[in-house]
Amino acid sequence: MNVRGDPLFRFWGSPHIPSDEMKSPLQPTVIEVTAPWCGECRAMRPTIEAVAGRHPDVRFRVIDASAEPATVATLGVKGTPTVIGYCNGEEVFRFTGRRTSAELESMFEAVAADDAPKPVLGKGDLMLRVGAGAALTTLGLMSGPVWPLVAVGTVVGMFSLLPMRDRNR
């Protein structure tokens, strides 16, 4: 959906609106900045549209970065896909890169509740954190042992497992 012509978003990238009329949307809104050549955008499209369909109280708009470069510049977007949430005229969140269904659901719920979204880590992020903790612990044990390094590795590994436990509930 293009934002041109939509009165709530008419100021973004429109040369016909004076700068003194610029303001942020008051209605809970999620904007996805995408591009037709972006593979991550195309992959995320069905997921974000499904999540948006489950949240009729949140206005969802898509901005094509190729067709609306002035709008993208006004928003300060540097990469695609970028998802931006607004509530009561304030930006609640901004994320760049492909997101999972759970992350997108959290974003839409946050905008509806006028709150920052709770971070949802992907399996890759969680495994990387657990791996870093294991690597630090192993390095600490094999280097002497160096107990402070073992302790840091153990703490990193244990705290990395907490989101994994919460995720399975």
Look up the domain containing 162 and give its range.
Answer: 123-167
pTM above 0.85, yes or no: no
Residues 18, 77: one domain? yes
Residues 142, 95: one domain? no
Structural domain contains residue 1: no
Count how many domains the chain has. Answer: 2
The pLDDT of residue 30 is 92
Mean pLDDT, consecutive 10-residue stretches, the chain (169 aa), reads 41 36 65 93 95 93 91 90 87 88 90 72 77 92 91 88 63
The pLDDT of residue 164 is 63
Residues 69, 25: one domain? yes
The pLDDT of residue 101 is 92
Query: Which of 73, 88, 113 delimits the end of a domain?
Result: 113
The pLDDT of residue 119 is 59
Structural domain contains residue 2: no
3-state secondary structure the chain: CCCCCCHHHCCCCCCCCCHHHCCCCCCCEEEEEECCCCHHHHHHHHHHHHHHHCCCCCEEEEEECCCCHHHHHHHCCCCCCEEEEEECCEEEEEEECCCCHHHHHHHHHHHHHCCCCCCCCCHHHHHHHHHHHHHHHHHHHHCCCCHHHHHHHHHHHHHHHHHHHHHCC
